[in-house]
Amino acid sequence: MSNNNGKFGIINFSNNCYLNVIIQLFLYNKNSSNIIMNYLDILNNNGANIINPEKLMIKLSEKINVSRQNDSQEVFTLILDLIPDLEKYYVNKIKNIYTCQECEKSRTKEDTFSTFYIHTNSLEDSVRQVIANEEFELECDFCKKNTFTKKTCRINKLGNVLIFYNIVKNKLKITKNITFGSYKYRLTGIIKHFGNEKSGHYIFIDYINKLIIDDTRISKLDNLPMDDIYLLFYT
């Protein structure tokens, strides 16, 4: 319950562990921490500081039923929508270039997203899949024909924080450091989920300080099993 290394436990009123771990994610980044704290209250409980997330839950209730089991990754995305000031620290931007193979004219489109989906046990491969070249049949905006179109992608911007979602629940090989061109990141946090989609529990792992944060309980991390990893984030 104490704020070990500046970390706070968070009250779980019933089923809001899905939110508590996302709050911990936001608190880990100084910029997003200053923003998210506007929706949180710090309480003193027997000399230990803990966070009451009720104000954020009221805000989130505009979109979902906060009292039932919810998916943490979906809640992360919803919070970015509800609090736009947070988005700039987590958004990634990719430039897609579509080139008609008949008239050879091109058009561009920028896509933004906040989460990379892990389909293998390699984080780097997950990023490469997002920017992989493709070729498909499409009506060209210029020559108005159904032609083969080549899609090439470029990373325009990566966020201050990279979020990886273990969508297929693979047993992952942890990569401590990842590099994409001039962007360098290190693993700073992990969210684990125990159970299934209808019932389960989330915990947050502070990888840098080797702490397990389970709602209001904070304990030392002695070892890290590779199963049940749900989200990874890098800063």
Which uninterrupted H or E stretch holds 149?
Answer: strand 146-157
Q: Does residue 130 carry a pLDDT above 60?
A: yes
Tokens of 222: 């002695």
Alpha-carbon 83 to chain mean position: 15
pLDDT of residue 5: 63
At residue 147 the predicted structure's pLDDT band, cuts being 50, 70 and 90, is very high
Percent of the chain with pLDDT over 90: 70
pTM score of the predicted model: 0.89
pLDDT confidence of 2, banded at 50, 70, 90?
A: very low
Enclosing H/E stretch for 186: strand 183-195
Q: What is the pLDDT of residue 56?
A: 98
Mean pLDDT, to the nearest integer, of 109-122? Answer: 87
Give me the mean pLDDT over the 118-145 stretch.
Answer: 85
Domains annotated for the chain, with CATH where assigned, are 4-91+159-234 (3.90.70.10), 92-157 (2.20.210)
Give the pLDDT score at 233. Answer: 94
Contact 105, 144 (CB under 8 A): no
Q: Is the pLDDT of residue 3 over 60?
A: no
> For residue 82, what pLDDT is reported?
96
Residue 196: the pLDDT is 76
- Reported as a single tens digit per residue, the pLDDT across 54-107 is 999 999 999 999 989 999 999 999 999 999 999 999 999 999 999 999 999 999
pLDDT of 128 reads 81
Give the pLDDT score at 121: 66
